[in-house]
Structure 1
Amino acid sequence: MKEMMAIDWSTMPVPIDDGGASHLKGHPVPGIALNSTDGGTVDLSRLAGRVVIYAYPWKKRPDGPLPDGWVSIPGAAGCTPQSCAFRDHAGEIKAAGASYIFGLSTQDTPYQRGAVERLQLPYPLLSDEHLSLAKALSLPTFTTAGMKLLKRLTMVINDGVIEHVFYPVFPPDRNATEVLSWLEMRCGK
């Protein structure tokens, strides 16, 4: 069964655009190998065509607790609904012009594999557990419960260059349809 969480977004704090991603559009993606849940590594700078990569902070295990104060952090909640929305729209996103779809977090690959299986994701998750990509691109981050995490954003990369950035992303479960609409307008599909 495909997992999906219902969240009342009206009760969640809305993230503001703090300018943390304003420098990314037009920036070349550095050649960094990221561990992938489908085995091996992925270097986003070497992928031809359009790549959609959504960064999310932290995905909890179904039986695990959230970090203290998680739901009060603007933009933190919603990793599972965002992933499920990309899962549900993956075919349409690819038909609209994306060659690849990836999720990205600072969680390690074994942890992420559980999410891929549980959520039946048709695309891999990439791990930036050492914050190599985050540092190289100066991606927006925050710290909670002793963890440095990515702020939620989505990048469209075209032939190794960041073409568009969705930031901040809220509510997360609508991000996939926003990306789809952008691709359809951009690619004329």
Structure 2
Amino acid sequence: MTEITRLAAGDTAPDFTLDDQDGAPVSLADFSGTNVILYFYPEAMTPGCTTQACDFRDNLNSLKAAGYRVIGISRDEPAKLKRFQETDGLNFPLLSDPDLVVHNAYGVYGEKNSYGRIVTGVIRSTFVIDGSGTIEHALYNVKATGHISMLRKKLTIDA
């Protein structure tokens, strides 16, 4: 497998500006002073990605109460992200990165093991970024199911 440059706790989170599901530009800098949970997922409206997104949706109020904002990023175009948002009632920004610029900056696109085969694609990953733009947690190869529960424990957010 080709090595991917991965980010780690203590690194500065790469800034970006991407279009959201409505075609409006959203930058990481827009969230300065706020803790952000930034997650990358392979494709909108697929079973695992829907499970993960709905889990974030269902936990959003308690994450917000603990001081966290959630942002999802995929390669999908804004129109597909809009359908995903509307179909599943998603209540946080979904950003489009079709050129993989931000995926590559965060080290979440490359070779991965998928059901015993080496494939190239999006590595499901989550980053917790503090209000000053420093990565607190860089979590690669996360599972869609149970991800939020694991994240809540790591962030010591009571259920």
TM-score range, shorter chain: 0.7 to 0.9
1:24 matched residue in structure 2? 8
Mapping of 1:1-189 within 5 angstroms? 22-48=6-32, 49-60=34-45, 78-98=48-68, 100-142=69-111, 149-158=121-130, 159-170=132-143, 172-184=144-156
TM-score (norm 1): 0.69
Identical positions, percent = 30
TM-score (norm 2): 0.80
Distance 2:148 2:25 in 1: 24
Say whether the 8 Å CA contact 2:42–2:121 is kept in structure 1: yes
Say whether the 8 Å CA contact 2:108–2:124 is kept in structure 1: no
Amino acid aligned to 2:125:
L
Larger radius of gyration: 1
Q: Residue 85 of structure 1 aligns to a residue in which SS?
A: helix
Deviation at 1:139, TM superposition (A): 2.5
**How big is the alpha-carbon RMSD for the aligned residues of Structure 1 and Structure 2?**
2.9
1:11 matched residue in structure 2? none
What are the ranges of 5 or more consecutive residues in structure 2 without an aligned counterpart? 115-119
Larger strand fraction of residues:
2
Distance 1:101 1:135 in 2: 20
Say whether the 8 Å CA contact 1:155–1:165 is kept in structure 2: yes
Deviation at 1:22, TM superposition (A): 4.6
Say whether the 8 Å CA contact 1:93–1:183 is kept in structure 2: no
Call closer, same or farther: CA 1:20–1:177 in 2, change over 3 Å. Answer: farther
Q: Residue 173 of structure 1 aligns to a residue in which SS?
A: coil
Deviations 1:29-86 (A, max 9, x none): 233211112441111144222101111101247xxxxxxxxxxxxxxx6111001111
Amino acid aligned to 2:65:
A
Deviation at 1:94, TM superposition (A): 1.2
Q: Residue 184 of structure 1 aligns to a residue in which SS?
A: coil
1:64 matched residue in structure 2? none
Distance 1:181 1:88 in 2: 16
Say whether the 8 Å CA contact 1:29–1:45 is kept in structure 2: no
Number of residue pairs matched by the alignment: 151
Amino acid aligned to 1:30:
P
Say whether the 8 Å CA contact 1:52–1:154 is kept in structure 2: yes
